[in-house]
Amino acid sequence: MTMRRVAMTATILACVLGLAACGDSDGDKGTGGPGNGAGGSSAAQGGSTGKGKTGTPLADVDPCTLLKPADVPQLSQDNYAQPTKLSIPGKPTCSGYDFAVEINDGGADVHDMEFNSSRAKALSDISGHKAVMTQTTTGSARDCAVSLDVTAQEYVRVTVTAGDNPTQTCDIAKKAAEVVAGRLSS
């Protein structure tokens, strides 16, 4: 069982790092309009879509403050696997045992890809944030990610890796995204 957890955690980290490499190209930098780089508030104000909103309201937000394992009982509650903040340029990430929360400020093009790709399945708004879901299977590991729109350039992705019951992964990811959206809107 421990080896399985290590493999799942490695899969999440590989996905996060792989996505980080995709978003750091020169074409993603310098995008944006008048508010690019502006501080804004420490929490997003919501809205059904981020189009029209600019700036980086999540610039100083620690992703580990957005979701704790105790917020969603289906996430691992093991004390030895506390969430850890990873420093990935443009994508601060909090990696827990079976989940990750990533704040993405990759610009309008990366934002558009996240919400309009053929893999993205539209969900109902979550606490006023446009939401999409994607599922990935790598070998025997399966994960489900829910992305929440914040501005035209920023979004938050909550990824949950399948535990003992892979059929519930997306339900758990949606619950985790609801917690994160609530904290973004407060």
115: pLDDT strictly greater than 80? yes
How confident is the model at residue 147, as a pLDDT? Answer: 97
Asked whether residue 109 carries a pLDDT value surpassing 50, the answer given is: yes
| Token couple for 7 | 């493999």
- Mean pLDDT calculated for residue range 84-109: 89
More confident residue, 104 or 34: 104
Cα–Cα dist 152/49, whole Å: 8
Q: Comparing C-alpha atoms, which of 159, 140, 125, 153 is closest to residue 36?
A: 153
Is residue 26 pLDDT above 70, yes or no?
no
Provide the domain count of the chain.
1
* This prediction's pTM: 0.71
Predicted pLDDT of residue 163: 65
pLDDT at position 3 is 41
Q: Quickly state the pLDDT bin for 35 (edges 50, 70, 90).
A: very low
Q: Which residue range(s) make up the domain with 54?
A: 2-185
Which DSSP string corresponds to 94-160? EE-SSEEEEEE---HHHHHHHHHSTTPEEEEEETTEEEEEEEEEETTEEEEEEEEE-SSS-EEEEEE
Residue 13 has pLDDT above 70, yes or no: no
In this prediction, residue 51 carries a pLDDT of 43
Mean pLDDT of 22-31: 38
- pLDDT, tens only, 38-84: 333 333 333 334 444 455 678 789 999 999 999 999 998 887 778 88
Inform me whether the pLDDT recorded for 123 exceeds 60.
yes
Q: For the residues 141-165, what does the mean pLDDT come to? A: 89
